[in-house]
Amino acid sequence: SQTIHQWPATLVQPVGSPLSLECTVEGTSNPNLYWYRQAAGRGLQLLFYSVGIGQISSEVPQNLSASRPQDRQFILSSKKLLLSDSGFYLCAWSVTGGRTEAFFGQGTRLTVV
Partner 1 sequence: AQRVTQPEKLLSVFKGAPVELKCNYSYSGSPELFWYVQYSRQRLQLLLRHISRESIKGFTADLNKGETSFHLKKPFAQEEDSAMYYCALMKSNYQLIWGAGTKLIIKP
Residue in 43, 54, 61, 69 binding partner 1, rule: CB under 8 A: 43
CA–CA separation, 109 vs 7, rounded Å? 10
d(CA 9, CA 102): 20
| Rounded to 5°, angle at Cα 91 from 89 and 93 | 160
Does 1 interact with partner 1 (rule: CB under 8 A)? no
Identity of the residue, 1 or 14, whose beta carbon is nearer to partner 1 in the bound complex: 1
User: Letter for the amino acid at 15?
Assistant: V
Using the rule CB under 8 A, is 94 a contact of partner 1?
A: yes
Contact between 7 and partner 1 by CB under 8 A: the answer reads no
Using CB under 8 A as the binding rule, the residues of this chain from 11 to 30 that contact partner 1 are none
The single residue among 11, 22, 46, 62 that binds partner 1, judged by CB under 8 A, is 46
Q: Does 90 bind partner 1 (CB under 8 A)?
A: yes
CA dihedral 13, 83, 23, 40 (to 10 degrees): 130
Q: What are phi and psi of 70, to 5 degrees?
A: -135, 165
Where along the sequence are the contacts to partner 1 (CB under 8 A)? 32, 38, 41-46, 49, 90, 94, 97-99, 101-107
